[in-house]
């Protein structure tokens, strides 16, 4: 079953990802990964650093002639900017007798705590006085690794006609409480929605675009950052019974929510109608069953495709809410970790809004959980064997 580890600091040599447990014979090209890496980099309102990072993955194992071979898959993503960081981010000790070297180190040393970041708890936890040792890994750069791993999960799901996608549904409060898609989209409607979403730089429904864009422009002018919300959907032929009601740690809503909440800046996760369910009456939030030409069907999907901790065959729907980026032009009060002196909080980058990128990361996490549960259900060591177990002969 898919498991993965990732490594790499934001200004270090690059990212490294190993994904173990993918079946053999899955078609897999670097382009399949790079497409999502590029989608993660899109985003109106993102600052300059993104352009440095045009991410391209290199396979170092587990893939041969365009197909997986059952072995662990290794991927690297180079940091093209590393040449400017070779001294302060050197893996080996540097010559501290060299004044120029010392100056470079000192220039990149950080002791001023940024509120809302890992800086303070990280420095205390790991007993490190240079906060750079923390922020290099806590940086959102890490999420590119997850997107790479998630792209492999998506490629596996796709063979079973399961698709995972997201769209931005609100930014800075704009869009909140509105509905931008059909209540029960058909497969074609989902597909169409997401094709259109991927055509704009806010990754939202075209009807929302102008209003969200104005909100971001306004914030950029005001020198502050904005958060927002994304809807995540898995649609297509969702198998009935991924996850399980039998043990608390097998419930797929818990697994999905945990995965989504682990994404940087996510502060709330809803399944289906989420918080609204808590305010409706029991009769209104359930999804009635009907007999549709002999098949069991539903008249709504308030549950977000999950009942009793299992997928019920309807699209799986989550919402993730992301707080504004904690780094910002307008300074915040903070203190110095070492001197305990107050100061105005450290300013590192200039993105106004990273919600579109956050949605792509959340997609990756969702795809990983779904792929794991699909593997648990189907077993199988090769794509062919998985398809046979699923009673399918092709995707």
Least separation in angstroms between CB 113 and a copy of itself:
6
Does residue 131 touch a copy of itself according to CB under 8 A? Answer: no
Question: Is 32 in a helix, a strand, or coil?
Answer: helix
Instruction: Name the token pair of 278.
Output: 């808590």
DSSP H helical segments within 315-382, as ranges? 355-378
Out of 36, 45, 111, 228, the residue judged to bind a copy of itself by CB under 8 A: 228
Residue 58, annotated as binding a ligand:
no
Least separation in angstroms between CB 157 and a copy of itself:
15
Nearer to a copy of itself, 199 or 379 (CB): 379
Could you tell me which stretch among 186-194, 195-203, 206-214, 216-224 binds a copy of itself (CB under 8 A)? 216-224
Does residue 47 touch a copy of itself according to CB under 8 A? Answer: no
Q: What contacts 370, CB < 8 A, 6 or more positions away? A: 153, 157, 162, 164, 234, 242, 316
CA distance 361 to 390: 28
Residue 193, annotated as binding a ligand:
no
Least separation in angstroms between CB 78 and a copy of itself:
10
Nearer to a copy of itself, 246 or 395 (CB): 246
Residue 349, annotated as binding a ligand:
yes
Cα–Cα distances in angstroms (integers) from residue 122 to residues 127, 135, 287, 320, in the given order: 8, 8, 44, 24
Does residue 32 touch a copy of itself according to CB under 8 A? Answer: no
Could you tell me which stretch among 43-51, 183-191, 202-210, 256-264 binds a copy of itself (CB under 8 A)? 256-264
Residue 40, annotated as binding a ligand:
yes
CA distance 43 to 172: 15
Count how many Cα atoms sit within 13 Å of the Cα of residue 253 in the half-sphere of its side chain.
20
- Most distant CA pair in the chain: distance in Å? 81
CA distance 391 to 395: 11
DSSP H helical segments within 223-272, as ranges? 252-261
Residue 333, annotated as binding a ligand:
no
Residue 374, annotated as binding a ligand:
no
Name which of residues 153 to 212 contact a copy of itself (CB under 8 A).
170, 172-173, 176
Out of 53, 307, 348, 363, the residue judged to bind a copy of itself by CB under 8 A: 307
Site string for a copy of itself, 88-127 (x = CB under 8 A): -xxxxxx----------x-------x-xxxxxxxx-xxxx
Residue 137, annotated as binding a ligand:
yes
Out of 97, 99, 107, 247, the residue judged to bind a copy of itself by CB under 8 A: 247
Out of 32, 53, 136, 231, the residue judged to bind a copy of itself by CB under 8 A: 136
Name which of residues 338 to 367 contact a copy of itself (CB under 8 A).
340-342, 345, 365
Nearer to a copy of itself, 193 or 313 (CB): 313
Question: Is 100 in a helix, a strand, or coil?
Answer: helix
Q: Which of 122, 145, 135, 148 is nearest to 10 (CA)?
A: 135
Residue 39, annotated as binding a ligand:
no
Does residue 217 touch a copy of itself according to CB under 8 A? Answer: no
Burial pattern 272-305, b for ≥16 Cβ within 10 A else e, equals bbbeebeeeeeeebebeeeeeeeeeebeebbbbb
Site string for a copy of itself, 263-282 (x = CB under 8 A): x--xxxxxxxxxx-xxxxxx
Residue 326, annotated as binding a ligand:
yes
Residue 251, annotated as binding a ligand:
no
Residue 323, annotated as binding a ligand:
yes
Nearer to a copy of itself, 30 or 50 (CB): 30
CA distance 342 to 363: 39
Strands 57-61 and 73-78, bridge-based pairing = antiparallel
- Residue 34: phi, psi to the nearest 5? -60, -30
Q: Which of 233, 256, 243, 364 is nearest to 312 (CA)?
A: 243
- The alpha-carbon radius of gyration of the chain (Å, integer) is 22
Q: Please tell me the count of residues contacting a copy of itself according to CB under 8 A.
A: 161
Does residue 2 touch a copy of itself according to CB under 8 A? Answer: no
Residue ranges for the known binding site for FMN are 137-139, 308, 323-327, 349
Residue ranges for the known binding site are 40, 46, 137-139, 308, 323-327, 349
């Amino acid at each position: 079953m898919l498991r993965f580890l990732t490594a790499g600091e934001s200004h270090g040599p690059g990212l490294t990802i190993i994904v173990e447990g993918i079946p053999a014979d899955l078609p897999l090209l670097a382009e399949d990964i790079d497409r999502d890496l590029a989608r993660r980099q899109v985003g109106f309102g993102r600052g300059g650093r993104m352009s440095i990072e045009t991410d391209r993955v290199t396979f170092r194992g587990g893939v041969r002639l365009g197909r997986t071979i059952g072995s662990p898959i290794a991927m690297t993503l180079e940091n093209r900017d590393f040449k400017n960081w070779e001294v302060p981010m050197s893996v080996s000790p540097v010559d501290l007798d060299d004044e120029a070297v010392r100056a470079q180190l000192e220039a990149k040393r950080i002791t001023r705590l940024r509120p809302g970041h890992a800086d303070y708890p990280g420095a205390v936890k790991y007993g490190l006085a240079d906060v750079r040792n923390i922020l290099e890994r806590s940086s959102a750069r890490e999420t590119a690794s997850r997107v790479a791993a998630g792209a492999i999960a998506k490629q596996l799901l796709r063979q079973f006609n399961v698709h995972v996608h997201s769209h931005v549904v609100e930014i800075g409060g704009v869009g909140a409480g509105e509905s931008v898609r059909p209540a029960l989209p058909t497969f074609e409607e989902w597909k169409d929605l997401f094709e259109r979403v991927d055509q704009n730089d806010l990754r939202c429904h075209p009807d929302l675009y102008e209003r969200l864009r104005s909100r971001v422009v306004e914030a950029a002018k005001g020198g502050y950052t904005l958060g927002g919300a994304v809807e995540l959907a898995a649609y297509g032929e969702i198998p009935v019974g991924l996850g399980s009601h039998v043990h608390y740690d097998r419930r797929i809503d818990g697994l999905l929510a945990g995965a989504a909440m682990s994404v940087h800046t996510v502060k709330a996760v809803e399944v289906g109608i989420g918080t609204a369910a808590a305010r409706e009456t029991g009769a209104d939030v359930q999804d009635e069953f009907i007999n549709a030409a002999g098949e069991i069907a539903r008249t709504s999907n308030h549950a977000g495709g999950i009942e009793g901790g299992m997928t019920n065959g309807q699209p799986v729907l989550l919402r993730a809410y992301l707080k504004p980026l904690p780094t910002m032009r307008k300074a915040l009060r903070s203190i110095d970790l070492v001197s305990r002196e107050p100061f105005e909080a450290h300013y590192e980058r200039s993105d106004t809004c990273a919600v579109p990128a956050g949605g792509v990361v959340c997609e990756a996490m969702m795809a990983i959980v779904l792929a794991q549960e699909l593997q648990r259900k189907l077993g199988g060591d090769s794509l062919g064997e998985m398809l046979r177990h699923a009673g399918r002969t092709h995707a």
